Structure 1
Amino acid sequence: MSNYTMFTAAVNTRLPDSTVLLTRDLAETLGLQGSEQVHFHVGQTSCKLTVAIRNSDKLKMKLAVNPGALKRLFLQAEKNYGIKKDMHGLHLGPVVGISADVSNEKGKPFGNQSFFFQQLLQAGEAMGEICYAFSPYSINWSKGTVAGYTYGKKGWLRKTFPLPNVIYPRERAYAVNHTYRRRLEKVGARFFNPPLVGKWETYLILKKNPDLTSYLPDTKLIKNFSQVDLMLKKYKAVYLKPTTGSKGKNIIRVSKRKNIAGYEYQYEINNLIIKGNAPSLSRLQSSLRRVMGNRSYIVQEQIDLLRLNNNIVDVRILVQKNDRGDWETTGMACRQGKRGSITSNISSGGSGRKLDMVLNQNFDDENHRARIIEEIYFLAIESAKTLEKTIGPAGEMGVDIGIDKSGAVWFIETNLRPARHVFLLIGEQDTRLRSVEMPMLYLRYLAGFTSKER
């Protein structure tokens, strides 16, 4: 049973500014009486209106106000919205904000994310949400409003909205820009995902779960470059990864040279593969300074990943919460690195492959393949549950998992701002669409509009 219902907004120019006219079925559903004064909450704003009830049986689940009140309630005529009642009054929507970096690109106010946001907004509106995309810098704190964007028949439209009930953070800087986040939380807004967490912190959190330790590659935080040499005495090759960052940028593979003293290394800059060697540890460190800079790094044992056409392959699993707040696996796909690359990232020239196809090419035993898939599901959900116990509630994670040549499953990393493009690359349009709907369903739940009693 839902704790909210849907209604259609309407305009009635004959109504006083302070009156709301409800059809009888809507008034009965909400438990309202005629002449009752009720607070209407829209995001973080509210206004008091007097209820009038229409007795006509022809109109169903309608709420009418005059044009001025319609604007104050941030509603549009003939559109459907969610509404729920609690001890504080009536709540509309809910109001969902998608925070993002604004672009100067014509017709794409949010750059490469514009089409994704368009789909999110359309999905949210179909669910009765009042939703918009916005830059954190477009908030008018004194008025409690936001200059945000919606998408309609004429394309992108900039309008004024109330501060949201819930926020889906998609801006690149949200790992460090906590100021607006704290201010919104202070007025009662809730965030879909916590701030980004680094690779070393992720490793330390997951290591505390005894059910996950066997899935974690040996990992050390580099405090002294001699740790790289110590790891190379244990493993034939290691990966150096920045503790923060994504898309496989600034990752380095290092190995010992064969039959001669020294080291070999490889990394990529602007999708260009760079290889080199160094006769000593100090020369290795100076050679890698160009890519490492002053960033904090971890050193990690190399996993002997499966290969397809001699290119490395890993698995991206998208786990998301549903409209009851429970974790689900929305989809999974393999990412195949470009020729010669040490990473599998799509943004660096990688491609998508179906997991079944990759497993069938590498493992003959059907039971073995089934066990691998079962472990992937377990590792993805368990790592998400474990992480959110420490970093705070989350709505989705992209979990990257490696499969080695023996069929063992390994945790690689999680991404709190996951891309979905890989599902289109393997022809799974339905999975891609589901991955867009799920955040809007969970945001509705997060705002207190629940679809089912728990």
Structure 2
Amino acid sequence: MATTKIAIHVQSDSAILDDQTIMLGETFFKKWKLTANQSVTLVYGSHKKDVKVISIARLVGLRLQGTLANLLGLHDGANLSIRYRKSTRTLYIGPLIGVMMSRVSTKDSEKPFGANTAFCKELTDACAKYGAFIYFYTPKGITPNSQTLNGWSFSNHWNKKTFPIPNVIYNRLTTRKLENQPIVQKLMNDAKSRYGSVVFNEKYLNKTEVFEALKKEPGLLGLLPESYHFKSFAMLKSMMARHSTIFLKPITGSLGKGIIRISRLSDKSYQYSFNNTLSGMRTKNFSNLTSLYSSISGVLKHQSFQIQQGLKLIEIGGRPIDFRVLVQRNELGEWSLTSIVARTAGQHNFVSNLARGGSLSKVKDIVGKSNLNPANKSTLNNKLGIAALKIAKGIEAQVPGHFAELGIDLAADSHGKVWLIEVNSKPSKEDNTPLVENKIRPSVIKVVRYAQFLAKFS
């Protein structure tokens, strides 16, 4: 079944066009050997409808009556892909992509998704270019047991409409609380089981789950710092006996929140540091590990932590450097490298997240100025890309769920050895290439092209 890009034309009034009839350019009639007034099943996302097809000589595209277009959530001028299966007389248009967003703002009609609106518009532009339709919805737009979703699409301005269940659901929910709502989980399960939809990046990753899973892949063991689900003081004492620095990381944390660094200063003194959002970096010294543990035990009781070997990262001016690698599935469904950026921690900080004062740089620029062994500077970028792709394939093999893009945080020590810090299944778009006016980023194009692949429109 060959796929072709096609323009959608919406016509309000016509003596021969109603919501049971569509008009198709004569070129398609000849290509698919259709007959005049032939009945076909029109499929768009979860919507299926038997319609009569009329051939129009000079029409370049597909013409729908306004009522039918509204039912599908389509607007005049939309660009879709189209294919025809002769054996079942089924005409497929799409793909229809639905993006789950956390919230909608009613304060500014031009920015319904706040700071994410530009990204949503960029996705819309990519769909128009490659032949797909995209809409955005929140958990509040879900009606239980309905074959439709209430969401927003862009055509000159943002419009709220009703849409069929999409071919592909892209999960961009930004909190586990929203993601775990019963209504969200039911939608994702129903979309897959009842309508054959594909959901990708369907869940947040758990730090300990990721490391335990990747330990099962022999080829990845050399990338993994020693890491466990934190359970007791005995585990802390054991780790501190082997490493001069360890990190305690909230298993479900993000943006560097709540990370505690513990360092052994001498045989009898220890120090912890953590980022307090109110007063910046907080550091405190202790004469023994027992006293330090007592000081943080209250925090450890209320949240699950991962304990991880501290790494001596390459740095510049005393500020540690790490790397965010974005890997995505491409139009062939294969993992591919999209971008690598260097992130330098802010002054007097040990995490590089932008939310914690970190800064972005090109890998070549920052590595050249770092304390990395000169012999390893020219090969580091390639080593980071290879490591990230291996890790993505390891996640695919060992972690349940469908993932199509991963933000993989890597580090390098002064000898050029690459280490995994963590894997993020909801990578911030601000951590990659910045938005460029009138230009669609490769990371956005890959989302659309992969959706076309999943929906068999590529």
Q: Does 1:399 align with 2:408?
A: yes
Judge conservation of contact 2:78–2:133 (CA < 8 Å) in 1.
Answer: no
The equivalent of 1:78 in structure 2 is 77
Structure-2 separation of matches of 1:420 and 1:270: 23
CA distance, structure 2, for counterparts of residue 429 and residue 205 of structure 1: 40
Where does residue 148 of structure 1 map in the other structure?
A: 151
- Output one character per residue of 1:367-395: Cα deviation in whole Å (capped at 9) or x when no partner: 63333222211110010011012323321
Distance 1:446 1:105 in 2: 33
Q: Which of 151, 166, 176 pairs up with 2:180?
A: 176
Aligned match of 2:122: 119
Question: What residue is the counterpart of 1:416 in the other structure?
Answer: 425
Distance 1:94 1:30, change over 3 A: farther
Q: Given residue 275 of structure 2, which amino acid in structure 1 is its aligned partner?
A: E
Task: Say whether 1:347 aligns with 2:355.
Answer: yes
SS, match of residue 440 in structure 1: helix
Task: Report the counterpart of residue 31 of structure 2 in structure 1.
Answer: 29
Partner of 2:273: 266
From 19, 22, 27, give the equivalent of 1:20: 22
In the TM superposition, residue 94 of structure 1 has moved relative to its aligned partner by 1.0
Amino acid at match of 1:395: A
1:51-450 alignment, distance < 5 Å: 51-54=53-56, 56=57, 58-60=58-60, 62-86=61-85, 89-104=90-105, 106-107=107-108, 108-154=111-157, 156-173=158-175, 176-177=180-181, 178-187=185-194, 188-258=196-266, 261-270=268-277, 272-289=280-297, 291-362=299-370, 368-390=376-398, 391-424=400-433, 433-450=441-458
Decide whether the 8 Å contact of 1:134 with 1:147 is kept in 2.
Answer: yes
For the 8 Å contact 2:227–2:307, the answer to whether it is kept is yes
Following the alignment from structure 2 to structure 1, what is the Cα–Cα distance between the partners of residues 343 and 437? 17
Structure 1 stretch 173-182 or stretch 185-194: which is displaced more? 173-182
Check whether the contact 1:402–1:411 (CA below 8 A) recurs between aligned residues: yes
| CA displacement at 1:347 relative to structure 2 | 1.4
CA contact (8 A) 1:192 1:395 kept: yes
Q: 1:47 corresponds to which residue?
A: 49
Q: Could you tell me whether the CA contact under 8 Å between 1:105 and 1:111 is conserved in 2?
A: no
In structure 2, do the counterparts of structure 1 residues 430 and 206 end up closer, same or farther at CA, with 3 Å as the change threshold? Answer: farther
Note closer, same or farther for the CA distance 1:141–1:122 as it changes in structure 2 (3 Å cut): farther
How many residues end up aligned between the 2 structures? Answer: 443
**1:172 aligned counterpart, secondary structure:** coil
Contact 2:313 2:411 in 1 (8 A): yes
Displacement of 1:292: 3.8
Deviation at 1:428, TM superposition (A): 8.3
Q: Residues of 2 paired with 1:282 and 1:364: CA distance?
A: 36
Query: Does the 8 Å contact 2:75/2:155 carry over to 1?
Result: no
Is the alpha carbon distance of 1:305 and 1:180 closer, same or farther for their aligned partners in structure 2, counting shifts above 3 Å? same
In structure 1, C-alpha distance between the alignment counterparts of 2:332 and 2:106, rounded to whole Å: 37
Deviates more, 1:379-388 or 1:192-201: 192-201
Tell me how far apart the structure 1 counterparts of residues 300 and 359 of structure 2 sit (CA, whole Å): 26
Cα gap change, 1:431 to 1:205, in 2 (>3 Å) = farther
- Judge conservation of contact 2:373–2:416 (CA < 8 Å) in 1: no
* Counterpart-to-counterpart distance in 1, 2:64 and 2:369: 63
Query: Aligned-pair distance for 1:6?
Result: 1.6
| Contact residue 40 and residue 49 of structure 1 kept, 8 A | yes
3-state DSSP of counterpart to 2:240: helix
SS of equivalent residue, structure 2 residue 166: coil
TM-score by length of 2: 0.90
Query: How far 1:311 sits from its partner (Å)?
Result: 0.6
1:31 Cα deviation after fit: 4.1
Equivalent AA in structure 1 for residue 260 of structure 2: I
CA deviations over 1:394-434 (Å, ceiling 9, x no partner)? 21111111011111111111111111323456x98899711
Q: 1:42–1:74: 8 Å Cα contact kept in structure 2? A: no
Q: Secondary structure at the match of 1:266?
A: strand
Give the 3-state SS of the residue equivalent to 2:134 in structure 1: strand
Alignment root-mean-square deviation, CA: 2.4
Superposition misfits of 4+ residues, deviation over 4 angstroms: 363-367, 427-432
Q: Offset at 1:307?
A: 0.7
8 A Cα contact 2:100 2:137, kept in partner: yes
Point out where structure 1 has 5 or more consecutive residues left out of the alignment: none
Identity of aligned residues (%): 27
Gaps in structure 2 of 5+ consecutive residues: none
1:140 is paired with a residue of what secondary structure?
coil
Q: What CA distance in whole angstroms lies between the structure 1 residues aligned with 2:440 and 2:300?
A: 35
Q: Distance in 2 between matches of 1:223 and 1:364?
A: 35
**Length-normalised TM-score, structure 1:** 0.91
SS at match of 2:84: strand
Is the 1:14–1:66 contact (alpha carbons within 8 Å) kept by the matching residues of 2? Answer: no
Deviations 1:52-95 (A, max 9, x none): 222x2x433x2223222332343322332211223551221111
Letter paired with 2:401: G
- Cα distance 1:442–1:21, how it changes in 2: closer, same or farther (>3 A)? same
CA drift of 1:49 comes to: 0.4
Does the CA-based 8 Å contact 2:371-2:414 persist in structure 1? no
